[in-house]
């Protein structure tokens, strides 16, 4: 059995090499420890400065290849969520998170880290089968996304595509 330090080293190495998020259950099975032990290991790695982020489907290292990050404000119905996400990804972006301004709690942010259509399909499947609610449902559809992409020009293309679809929020 590995020590905690050895296990965390292996978790870090696997996350760095991974092409997709890896779940706590995946690591728990591999190292024959509880899921909660892995969650604690991830917390210790993050506290030590590792750039690990939690997504809906596991843990991953933040993508440092995208050099531009910006925020967009969107408004849409739940039935338009998939269209919104696919427009961002189809135009070279990654949807890092979603944030709403809650009247009681202030800003609430959910990590998404959606980088391709397969991840969007999985996210939407989870949304539908779990009968969950989108954060944007708390704010009549208004929400922010942090988007990463190659550069500001690409970000503007993404914004234009969302505007064309009637999803980019405008105060008009």
Give binding residues as ranges.
Answer: 76, 84, 143, 145
Distance CA(167)–CA(83), nearest Å, equals 9
Cα-flanking dihedrals φ and ψ of residue 144, to 5°?
Answer: -115, 150
- Binding positions for Ni(2+): 76, 84, 143, 145
Q: Strand pairing of 142-149 and 94-102?
A: antiparallel
List the one residue out of 87, 94, 91, 73 whose CA is nearest residue 136: 73
Distance CA(120)–CA(24), nearest Å, equals 20
Structure tokens at 10: 């292996």
Distance CA(18)–CA(76), nearest Å, equals 33
Q: Cβ atoms within 10 A of the Cβ of 101, count?
A: 13
Strand order in the sheet with 142-149: 68-75, 142-149, 94-102, 106-114
Distance CA(10)–CA(19), nearest Å, equals 16
């Amino acid at each position: 059995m590995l020590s905690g330090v050895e296990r965390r080293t292996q978790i870090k190495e696997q996350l760095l090499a991974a092409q997709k998020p890896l779940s706590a259950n995946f690591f728990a099975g591999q190292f024959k420890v509880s899921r909660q032990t892995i969650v604690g290991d991830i917390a210790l790695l993050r506290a030590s400065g590792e750039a690990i982020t939690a997504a809906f489907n596991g843990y991953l290292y933040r993508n440092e290849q995208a050099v531009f990050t910006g925020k967009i404000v969107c408004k849409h119905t739940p039935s338009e969520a998939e269209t919104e996400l696919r427009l961002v990804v189809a135009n070279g972006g990654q949807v890092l998170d979603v944030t709403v301004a809650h009247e009681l709690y202030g800003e609430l942010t959910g990590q998404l880290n959606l980088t391709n259509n397969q991840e969007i399909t999985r996210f939407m499947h989870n949304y539908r089968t779990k009968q969950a609610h989108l954060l944007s449902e708390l704010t009549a559809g208004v929400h922010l996304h942090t988007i990463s992409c190659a550069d500001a020009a690409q970000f503007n293309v993404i914004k234009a595509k969302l505007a064309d679809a009637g999803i980019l929020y405008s105060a008009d």
